[in-house]
Amino acid sequence: MIAIYKRELKAYFHSLIGWLFCAVTLFFVSLYFASYNLLGGYGMLAYALSGSSYIFIISVPILTMRILAEERKQKIDQLILTAPVSVWKVVLGKYLAMATVYMIPMIITCFYPVIMGCFGTVNYVECYVSLLGYILYGLTAIAVGLFISGLTESQVIAAVVSLLVLFLTYMMSGITNMINASGNMATKILSCFDFPKRVNLFYDGTLNVTAIVYFISVLGLLLFLTTQAIQKRRYTVSVKKFRTGAYSSTLIAVVVAVVVFLNLMVNELPEKYQSLDVTSSKLYSITDDTIKLLDTLKEDINIYVLASEENHDTTVEKTLKKYQDASKHIKVEYVDPAKSPAFATKYTDTTPSTGSIIVSGSKRNKVIAYNDLYETEMDYATYQTQVTGYDAEGQITSAIAYVTDDNTGKLYQVTGHGEAEISESFTSAMSKANLEVETLNIIKEEKVPEDAQAVIINVPQTDFSKDDAKKITDYLKNGGNVLAAAGWTEEELTNFNSILEDYGMTLNREVVIEGDQNNCVQSPIYLLPQINSTEYTDTLTGQYVFMPYSVSVSEKEDNDDDSLTITNLLTTSSSAYGKSDIQNAENIDKEENDVDGPFYLGMAAEKSLDKGSSKLVVYTSDSVFSDNADQMVSGGNKALFKNTLNQMVDVETSVSIDVKPYNNESITVPQLTAVILSLVLMILIPVIMLIVGIVVVVLRRKK
Indicate the number of domains in the chain. 3
Task: Examine the fold and report which residue of 618, 636, 654 is the final residue of a domain before the chain moves on.
Answer: 636
The sign of the dihedral angle between the CA atoms of 67, 73, 79, 82 is positive
Counting residues of the chain whose pLDDT is more than 70, the rounded percentage is 92
Ranges of beta strands (E only) in 372-434 are 374-379, 384-390, 409-415
Residue 242 pLDDT class (50, 70, 90 cuts)? very low
CATH code of the domain in which 366 resides: 3.40.30.10
CA-to-CA separations, 528 to 547, 555, 621, 632, in angstroms, rounded: 6, 21, 11, 10
Neighbours of 666 (CB within 10 A): 16
Considering the domain architecture, whether residues 365 and 447 belong to the same structural domain is answered as no
Q: What is the CA radius of gyration of the chain?
A: 34
Each residue's pLDDT tens digit, 371-425:
888 887 766 566 677 788 888 998 899 889 888 877 667 889 999 999 988 888 8
Specify whether 529 is located in the same domain as 580.
yes
Cα dihedral: 302, 305, 306, 309 (round 10): -120
3-state secondary structure of 512: strand
The pLDDT tens digits of the residues spanning 119-144 come to 888 899 999 999 999 999 999 999 99
Judge if 358 and 212 occupy the same domain: no
Same domain, 376 and 454: no
Q: How far is CA 424 from CA 421, 455, 641, in A?
A: 9, 18, 13
Residues 261 and 325 in one domain: no
Residue 399, domain member (yes or no): no
- 8 A C-beta contact, residue 374 and residue 389: yes
Q: Is the pTM of this model over 0.85?
A: no
Domain stop point among 358, 389, 420: 389
Pair (225, 303) in one structural domain: no
Distance, in Å, from the CA atom of 288 to the CA atom of 587, rounded to the nearest integer, reads 47
Q: How far apart are CA 164 and CA 169, in angstroms?
A: 9
Separation between Cα atoms, residue 560 and residue 600, nearest integer Å: 20
Q: What is the pLDDT of residue 244?
A: 45
DSSP 8-state symbol, 487: -
In a domain, 178, yes or no: yes
User: DSSP label at 420?
Assistant: P
303 is a domain residue: yes
Is 552 part of a structural domain of the chain?
yes
* Co-location of 526 and 565 in the same domain: yes
> Is residue 252, in this structure, part of any structural domain at all?
yes
101 found inside a domain = yes
| The pLDDT value given to residue 85 | 65
- Mark whether 101 and 140 lie in a shared domain: yes
Q: Which residues contact 703 (CB under 8 A, 6 or more apart)?
A: none
The whole-number pLDDT of residue 251 equals 85
pLDDT of 150 reads 84
Supply the pLDDT for residue 66.
82
pLDDT of 15: 86
Tell me: do 382 and 422 sit in the same domain: no
Cβ(453)–Cβ(650) under 8 Å?
yes
Domain containing residue 413: CATH number: 3.40.50
Q: Is residue 665 part of a domain?
A: no
Pair (586, 536) in one structural domain: yes
pLDDT digits 0-9 by tens, 221-234: 999 998 888 877 65
Task: Look at residues 389, 419, 454 and tell me which one is the last residue of a structural domain.
Answer: 389
Instruction: Give the model's confidence band at 236: pLDDT under 50 very low, under 70 low, under 90 confident, else very high.
Output: low
Q: What is the pLDDT of residues 7-65, one digit of tens each?
A: 888 888 888 899 999 999 999 999 999 999 999 888 899 999 999 999 999 999 989 88
- DSSP conformational letter for 336: -
Residue 239: predicted pLDDT: 46
**Same domain for 174 and 217:** yes
Does residue 91 sit in the same domain as residue 138?
yes
Residue 641 lies in a domain: no
265-315 pLDDT, tens digit each: 998 888 778 888 888 888 888 888 899 889 988 899 999 999 987 778 888
Containing structural domain, residue 252: 2-278+670-702
Residue 635 zone, left/alpha/beta (φ > 0; ψ -120 to 50; rest): left
